[in-house]
Amino acid sequence: MNTKKFKVVVTDYEFVSLDREREILDKVDAQLIPNQCKTENDLIAAALDADALLNLYFRPISEKVLKSLKKCKVISRYGIGVDTIDIEAATRHGIIVTNVPSYCVDEVSDHALGLILTCARKIVLLNKTVKDGIWDFKVSKPVFRIRGKNLGLVGFGKIGRMVAKKAKNFGFNILFYDPYISSDIAKEYSAKPVGIDTLLKESDFVSLHLPLNGKTRHFLDKKKFKLMKKSAFLINVSRGGVVNTDSLYRALREGWIAGAALDVIEEIPPLEKDNPLLELENLIITPHGAWYSEESIAQLQETAAEEVARVLKGEWPLSVVNPEVKERLKKQNLR
């Protein structure tokens, strides 16, 4: 029998253990209830009387789900993106939504730079030819010096800025497009703010660092691919849905751009063996592993649980996705 004051439901998880969360939540007298929910009805049954949710991949946490949560005060997302949750509906129901924006900044920025360098130096091609018995650097021609090239960052949040900081050491000129970033931040990172058309036309490498939402879905489409240099490379370590897959395939197949390196795809993975993307020699794909390190997992679990603990103690969390919920809570006399 549960004698704890609060109930925290995990919608789904793939961690080896939830001991970190249990230790943190035990301090606020909360019981952790692990689940592997597959459907909305699964989650509703599990969380009907929950005070909080921890959410990894399960989706959608929809209006149907949210209106059934009679006691829920907070949904804490294991990650940066919150496209698993209907944020507007959560706000209407007075539920705080939090995320972990500082998580995996080093890992994802390192991965982005790794993909940039791999494209620039054609490392995958050279490795393959050597293993095929060909010892000849000329198969990689042409390769151009990195120093002095333009790196265009679409989105200049924490990860985009970290990429800029690290890329400067390689001699890149940094351009970025982000209408929400001030000129002071641009100066701090020695980066040049430009319009999206200018960025696409002038960049030798275009690296995407966008959240996925209604405004950014298929942000990179046929029209935008056509603006890019034929010698340019696309890097995407953000969300697969920000790139139109059909346009990407055509851009690579028909030579609109030189190549692409992706850590995320629009389709539900894994890719079928006959997927036409896998036939493209100028495409590199990694399996959404940019975020991963042992340290990033520990940080993710602890920070997500700490946000729940703050709310259950009556405190305001550090990273609120829907800050407008505060006024609604005041009106509802819930705080």
Token digits for 166? Answer: 């690290």
Q: How far apart are CA 34 and CA 157, in angstroms?
A: 32
For residue range 62-106, list pLDDT tens digits in order: 999 999 999 999 999 999 889 899 999 999 999 999 999 989 999
Which CA distances in Å does 210 have to 133, 217, 237? Answer: 40, 10, 9
How do the domains of the chain map onto residue ranges?
6-102+294-331, 105-285
User: pLDDT class for 181, splitting at 50, 70, 90?
Assistant: very high
> Looking at the predicted structure, is the pLDDT value of residue 4 above 60?
yes
pLDDT at 138: 97
For residue range 12-58, list pLDDT tens digits in order: 999 999 999 999 999 999 999 999 999 999 999 999 999 999 999 99
pTM of the shown model: 0.87
Rg (CA), the chain: 22
**Closest residue by Cα to residue 156 from 121, 126, 193, 202:** 193
Instruction: Judge if 6-102+294-331 and 105-285 fold alike in CATH terms.
Output: yes
Q: Which CATH class is domain 105-285?
A: alpha beta
For residue range 288-310, list pLDDT tens digits in order: 999 999 999 999 999 999 999 99
Burial level of 3, CB count in 10 A (0-12/13-18/19+)? exposed
pLDDT at 331: 76
Instruction: Say which residue, 327 or 153, is predicted with more confidence.
Output: 153
On whether the CB atoms of residues 12 and 54 are closer than 8 A, the answer is: no
User: pLDDT class for 269, splitting at 50, 70, 90?
Assistant: confident
Instruction: Say which residue, 328 or 113, is predicted with more confidence.
Output: 113
Cβ atoms < 10 Å from Cβ of 64: 14
pLDDT at 335: 43
CATH number listed for the domain at residues 6-102+294-331: 3.40.50.720
| pLDDT > 90 fraction of the chain, expressed in percent and rounded | 91
Q: How far apart are CA 22 and CA 268, in angstroms?
A: 31
Q: For strand 30-34 and strand 6-10, is the pairing parallel, antiparallel, or unpaired?
A: parallel
> What sign results for the dihedral spanned by CA atoms 110, 191, 322, 217?
negative
User: CA dihedral defined by 188, 304, 103, 191, rounded to 10 degrees?
Assistant: -30
**Closest residue by Cα to residue 286 from 260, 264, 258:** 264
> Looking at the predicted structure, is the pLDDT value of residue 334 above 50?
no
Return the minimum-mean-pLDDT range out of 120-129, 302-311, 324-333: 324-333
pLDDT at 1: 57
